[in-house]
Amino acid sequence: MKSKNILKRLFIGLAAVLVLIQLIPVNRTNPPVTAEINAPAEVMHVFQRSCYDCHSNETNWRWYSYVAPVSWLTAYDVKEGREHLNFSEWGGLEAKKQAKKTEEIWEEVSEGNMPMKIYVLAHPEVKLSEPEKEALRQWAMAAERGEEE
Residues 48/107/124/86 CA torsion (nearest 10 deg) = -30
- Contacts of residue 77, Cβ cutoff 8 Å, sequence gap at least 6: 54, 116, 119
Cα–Cα distance, 91 to 41 (Å, whole number): 17
Cα four-point dihedral sign 145, 112, 37, 126: positive
**Among 39, 43, 105, 135, which residue interacts with ligand HEC (rule: CB under 6 A)?**
105
Binding status of residue 68 toward ligand HEC by CB under 6 A: no
Total chain residues near ligand HEC (CB under 6 A): 18
**Among 50, 59, 71, 88, which residue interacts with ligand HEC (rule: CB under 6 A)?**
50
- Whose Cβ is closer to ligand HEC: residue 13's or residue 92's? 92
Q: Residues in the site for ligand HEC, rule: CB under 6 A?
A: 50-51, 53-55, 77, 80-81, 84-85, 104-105, 108-109, 114-116, 119
